[in-house]
Structure 1
Amino acid sequence: MKLFILVLVLTLSACSSTQVTKPTEPLADTVNLELETKESAEKAPEVPESQKVYYFQHRLLPELTYDSVSGDLLFADLMQRDLAKLQSIAAEIISADYATGMASKYYPEHDAALITFPTPKSLTNCFFVLIKKGDKGYHFYTYEKTLSFSEDDPVKGVVGLWSEDGTHGNLGGRTYSTADEFVSDLMKE
């Protein structure tokens, strides 16, 4: 019982000694915090273009492709060679110049759509993306810039694929440099 009374007295004395204070200038503090946040954002380093391109080609496009609604809309636009929505997104993420350098082509015999990008400046950025419509959904292939091991190395790129679960596969190095060769390689019967 004595222990209980002691704990009660200590608790009450601790509570009564705690002072509640109100900030004298809450609005000023909030404004200062907002200004500091804006200054921090302005001082934040710019994301390199190659990382923006990678995000657009390797994260956003596969995600759009494999989404049940946006995949069908994207493919329908590509069938019509309509890149307006994709170019708008690319302009916002990367740059307007990059977006205007994009092109598309539809291959009805393969039910596949090709997106051509400006020549990649960095490794893993894509020359092309091919989206093929299959019986059970879409297949998403990339032709990515790769590292040459010597001046006479014939390999120009690597064919990759993104699966619906977000895993990336490497289908090996290739020596070609045109979109038609890329499509022909992937659509071999």
Structure 2
Amino acid sequence: MASVWKRLQRVNKRAAKFQYTASYHRIDVETTPKWKPNKLSIVWTRRSRRVVTEPVEWEPSLKDPLKGSVIFTVPENQTVTVTLFRDPRTNELEDKDWTFVLEDVSPTGKRRRLAAAALDLRKHASLAAAQRAVRVQLEPTGRRLRAASLHLTLHSVLLREGHATDEDMQSLASLLSVNNNSDIAVLEDLDEDDYTLSDNSTRQASLLDHPT
């Protein structure tokens, strides 16, 4: 029922489908004296969507062993395709948050959430292809970290515009929900507006923007 209600809300709305690519450059972390990370991974997520980087070793600095960084010598690129809806009253695109989550990956592969921050992709939407250098200040979710920040370049491309109810403006989850009503209870947990892509399909806020 929730999926049907969502589609009814989109009648007469316009929509724009964007492709966003995050190129990760560096993760800065300040730990507490009693704990240090093993390997760090960034998860870019919204609801059940997760785009995950390969775990990378964390290196403490020589000056302060509680502070260190993960440096991506070759920036790791992760891509999501996002549908943004336009408010018919203001003609402005509506907000849509995707969250960056910093996770520690243990030697056994267990993941532990360390910090997170939401990024409103509407603020980075552009009719012309554009990229921005972004610094995301991550909020620690427990007592293991004192601070964490993520440095990346965010590239956005407008793929197409149309009515919110057009089939090519809907995600794969939306199309499945139309063709398989018996799965509505499961699909309600999905974000019908988005689907994700990755360089490897088996892997799935203070902001400083510098348009280039």
For normalisation by structure 2, the TM-score amounts to 0.24
Structure with the higher helix share, 1 or 2:
1
The higher radius of gyration belongs to 1
Task: Compare relative contact order (CA 8 Å, sep 6+) and give the higher one, 1 or 2.
Answer: 2
Structure with the higher strand share, 1 or 2:
2
